[in-house]
Chain A
């Protein structure tokens, strides 16, 4: 089963800048089963992207997902203060619905 490794561990950027978060799989995965979640402090995770690139209901179009096989990316095009959170990638729809270890996005 595939292990997901996210990088960087922490990303510190200013409002308006672009954030690029990476998620690498140890074995090939269909992008149809890659999701991204946002978790703000003290809250449950919230689904942002499913099927690799589909925005969940309520996800602003500043968030976009891309990638294939072993390399997946979440891009936040214009950071806002409310985007400060930890972001997790996940492989779902399998016998082992594993998560990456997370990337913390800090807004300066």
Chain B
């Protein structure tokens, strides 16, 4: 059974870049697309963006100018970079596996990232 785990700093300073990695184990990166989702404390889910194993990406228009997602198929990982962060970017960040026809079927537990000086 596939498992996903988010890793990265839990604290980022305002104006700096948030970087997270999602490691996929028990399955291949190929054949799916891989998403980042976040959830501010006490609020709902916000889709950030996704990447195919081919490297093609799509991003939430509200974040597009600051976000990039990349994939490392050799290490079964994909990553998120969010630049120029503010307190509004404080959230639990989830990564998930998605099938074009079957939805987001596997999720990481998520990691809290706090933006604060």
Contact = CB atoms under 8 A, between A and B. Distances in A.
Interface residues of B, number: 22
Given A51-B102, A93-B100, A44 B107 contact: yes
Interface string A31-43: 0100101010001
Contacts of A46: 107
Given A44-B108, A50-B102, A88 B45 contact: yes
A99 B40 CA distance: 14
A97 B107 contact: no
A99 B60 CA distance: 11
B58 interface: yes
Interface string B37-66: 100000011110010000000101100000
Interface string A43-58: 1111100110010100
A44 B45 contact: no
Interface in B4-26: none
B109 interface: yes
Interface residues of A, number: 27
B45 A102 contact: yes
A22 interface: no
Interface string A95-106: 111111110000
A51 B101 contact: yes
A63 interface: no
- Among B35, B94, B103, B104, residue most surrounded by chain A Cβ atoms (within 10 Å): B103
Given A44-B110, A90-B104, A100-B44, 12 more contacts: A35-B103, A35-B104, A45-B94, A46-B107, A47-B103, A47-B105, A50-B101, A88-B44, A95-B58, A97-B58, A99-B44, A99-B47
Interface of B: 35, 37, 44-47, 50, 58, 60-61, 94, 98, 100-105, 107-110
